[in-house]
Chains A and B, each alone.
Chain A
Amino acid sequence: MITTAVQEREHYLNESYGIKSWLLTKDHKRIALLYLFTVTFFFFLGGAFATMIRVELLTPQGNFVSNDTYNKLFTMHGVAMIFFFLIPSIPATLGNFFLPMMIGARDLAFPRINLLSWYLLVIGGLFALFAMLAGGVDTGWTFYTPYSTTYSNSWVIATAIGIFVAGFSSILTGLNFIVTVHRMRAPGMTWSRLPLFVWSNYATALIQVLGTPVLAVTIILLFCERVFHIGIFDPALGGDPVLFQHLFWFYSHPAVYIMVLPAMGVISEVVSVFSRKRVFGYHFVAYASLAIAVLGFLVWGHHLFVATQSVYAGLVFSFLSYFVAIPSAIKVFNWTATLYKGSISFATPMLYAFGFIGLFTIGGLTGLFLAALGFDVHVTDTYFVVAHFHYIMVGGTIMAYMGGLHYWWPKMTGRMYPEGWAKLSALVVFLGFNLTFFPQFILGYMGMPRRYHVYPDEFQVLHVLSTAGASVLAVGYLLPMIYFVWSLKYGAIAPANPWGASGLEWKTQSPPPLHNFDETPVVTEEAYDYSSVIGEEIQVG
């Protein structure tokens, strides 16, 4: 099956071998794969916690785990998923691999810092993992004071150190991306020719650089408060526990956009390629990314509507939270308009993109419900909130992440994934997701509070539906794990440009050579111009 020509061709995977050539690599493509392994590990770890949560919630009584264990399960689910999977997921894997290639660069501006940032994620991850194995942490992923500083008898400090260190990984990735986009573009690659995936990762990097340091200093203050009792968040000394919430959400709300902006970038690429049209309103989509990055910093107060914040502050934050929906809506409408009269093919990445658009819209619209002061008071800390942010993070980010992985898999590995199985997995994920999380909207509206594992009997039907959906969803995530690995050996050899895409990353061989391009490309046309690639066969299946 493998021709000699393919065996002899040198690329980034076979130019050197051995454990050192990976652990000391400065190649952004290999570092992206290191990230891929790491975040996949944490995804399945977080998934294991989620499984136990859903098993517990099958029955109204707490009969699978104790109260304390349940607290630890949802905390560790959140910590693993948010800090060690969702935040690094798309930027550090797909972004790391493709951002330099899309702008025609040989590497990121600072390859050694790129490697350092992976090590920081691993070190932070090991701290968090130690905390989980040593007995777990039970504060919720939000670490609200004074519980986290005074009362919790669990591994708060070890987890906090892990998140602190991983935060610097995120900062360094963002710094690297910003400098790379500013200084490493190929000749002719002007700002208005940048692929939208680059734009959205650039906007993400701005948030990483501006927001994450605030989380870092908040963790330092939390650390000092818990260890030295310095009083910053302690009412006994005149400190204010709500100050912690302000500082925490100043990072953690923009962090939602760290998770979803790169996902939007993936969708822009995929929707354009598989409808063979330039993204409708390119500039609007690009600037919408920046608008989300800026406005995202001004809405954190909507997490404090019931936490002693003044009504007037609440009004302003409510208004701004509505405002941030505008750039998000621009994107959804523009993707839809891109499809209009497009030559659409239903390849797996496109199925994931369709899933994203639908689920992100539901997640975004329920976000507007929650931005409304009166309704928010009614559903604060209920499953309505849980369902809302899972529609954004799982229905949005993970859908796009899976779509992006399928889309770029041929370029990353040189192999095609099995299209039939992949389509099946996209369908299973979509159905399983909705079955898991839609009942939670109803549960929340009926008054089921989050973070409780004992509930009234009348909620059981909806909880059973949700748990059933979670098992379907698990199958949908395990399937790609199997066939991706399978494809590395048995998948069809991928051509340089299997989708007939126009980006620079498709103009070099699959997998790419060590320095991405044989010679630095010169860009003469706008992004998503398919006139020169029309006629190439799109290989589906």
Chain B
Amino acid sequence: MASETQAHAHQESLALREQFDTAAQQKDASTLGMWIFLITEIMFFGGMFLAYTVYRHLYSHVFAVASSSLNVYIGAANTVVLLCSSLTMVLAVRAAQLSQKKAIVLFLVLTLLLGGVFLGVKAYEWNEKFVEHHVPGASFHFEDLPASDQGHAQLFFSLYFAMTGLHALHMVIGAGLLCYLVFEARKGRYSAEYNTPVDLIGLYWHFVDIIWIFLFPLLYLIDRHLGR
């Protein structure tokens, strides 16, 4: 299976590791590895999505009320920020494929900045929850619900913090990876011949984005209607 691409082997052997025959085989293997890793990530987040589904089904009314206390405008703006970071990420991948070495660095830094803005806004939102006593724990109190529903509301915010927290942790890891890419890209390491790390970390970044695309409606938009 490897022999068909052997002709290209010599010109692309720059970063070829010894267990591979050709650069194409190496890139193939790395890409497959990243996709499998992303599948494990889906299963990883899946456990929390399952817990969310169960409790949303059991306590749908309380979840709707609790959800409406989240600031939908900030959430929506943050979604736009994150989508823009996906755009700049894919532009960085494109720049790498075209060997535009300055553009790679530029777009990577932009992605990093947008990711930082997202995390900053998220931190602001979490802080709001502390101020409003919406953080699960002894001082939890949700004013719009009767005493019998306080526990269920607390469940919503437990899931809110667990899911957005896990997502934010993935963003932080992604930011670390982007820093590494910027560092390497400044040395001119990525080009049309070799850009696998940019490609794969790009995949990871998009994946973390997609998780948010699911989190946003599930947490913010349960029971929203445009004003009639």
Contact = CB atoms under 8 A, between A and B. Distances in A.
Given A184-B19, A230-B162, A217 B1 contact: no
Contacts of B151: 231, 236-238
B199 to A, nearest CB: 16
Contacts of B99: none
A491 interface: no
A417 to B, nearest CB: 30
B154 interface: yes
- The main secondary structure of chain A at its interface with chain B is helix
Interface in B13-29: 17-21, 25, 28-29
Given A220-B166, A238-B152, A213 B43 contact: yes
A109 B43 contact: no
A214 B40 CA distance: 9
A480 to B, nearest CB: 32
B136 A211 contact: no
A221 B47 contact: yes
16 contacts: A107-B19, A171-B40, A187-B3, A214-B44, A214-B47, A218-B47, A220-B162, A230-B154, A230-B161, A231-B136, A232-B162, A238-B55, A238-B58, A239-B155, A243-B50, A246-B50
Interface in A166-218: 171, 175-176, 178-179, 182-185, 187, 209-214, 216-218
Kindly list the 8 A-B residue pairs having the minimum CB-CB distance in the complex, ordered from nearest: A217-B47, A237-B151, A230-B158, A213-B44, A213-B43, A107-B19, A183-B29, A109-B29
B76 interface: no
A110 interface: yes
B77 interface: no
B19 A240 contact: no
B28 to A, nearest CB: 6
Contacts of B2: 187
Nearest to A188: B1
Interface of B: 1-3, 17-21, 25, 28-29, 32-33, 36-37, 39-41, 43-48, 50-51, 54-55, 58-59, 136-137, 151-152, 154-155, 158-159, 161-162, 166
A15 B55 CA distance: 58
A214 B46 contact: yes
A176 B40 CA distance: 13
Contact of B29 (A171, A179, A231, A237): A179
Contact of A179 (B36, B39, B45, B158): B36
B136 to A, nearest CB: 5
Contacts of B154: 230-231, 237
Given A229-B137, A232-B158, A240-B54, A106 B18 contact: yes
A515 interface: yes
Nearest to A215: B47
Interface residues of A, number: 45
A108 interface: yes
A107 B26 CA distance: 13
A209 B40 contact: yes
Contacts of A171: 40
A175 B19 CA distance: 16
Given A182-B32, A184-B29, A238-B59, A213 B40 contact: yes
Contact of B155 (A108, A214, A231, A246): A231
A25 to B, nearest CB: 13
A221 B51 contact: yes
Nearest to A239: B155
B207 to A, nearest CB: 13
Interface in A227-262: 228-232, 236-240, 243, 246-247
Given A213-B40, A221-B51, A183 B46 contact: no
Nearest to B158: A230
A187 B43 contact: no
Nearest to B48: A217
Nearest to A111: B19
Interface in A96-143: 105-111, 113
B51 A243 contact: yes
A469 to B, nearest CB: 40
A319 B211 CA distance: 35
B137 A217 contact: no
Contact of B19 (A108, A187, A211, A246): A108
Given A175-B37, A243-B54, 10 more contacts: A105-B19, A106-B19, A110-B29, A182-B29, A217-B48, A231-B136, A238-B58, A238-B155, A515-B18, A520-B21
A209 B39 contact: yes
A171 B44 CA distance: 11
Contacts of B3: 187
Nearest to A520: B21
B162 A224 contact: yes
Contacts of A243: 50-51, 54
B39 A210 contact: yes
Given A109-B19, A184-B29, A247-B50, A229 B136 contact: yes
Contacts of B41: 213
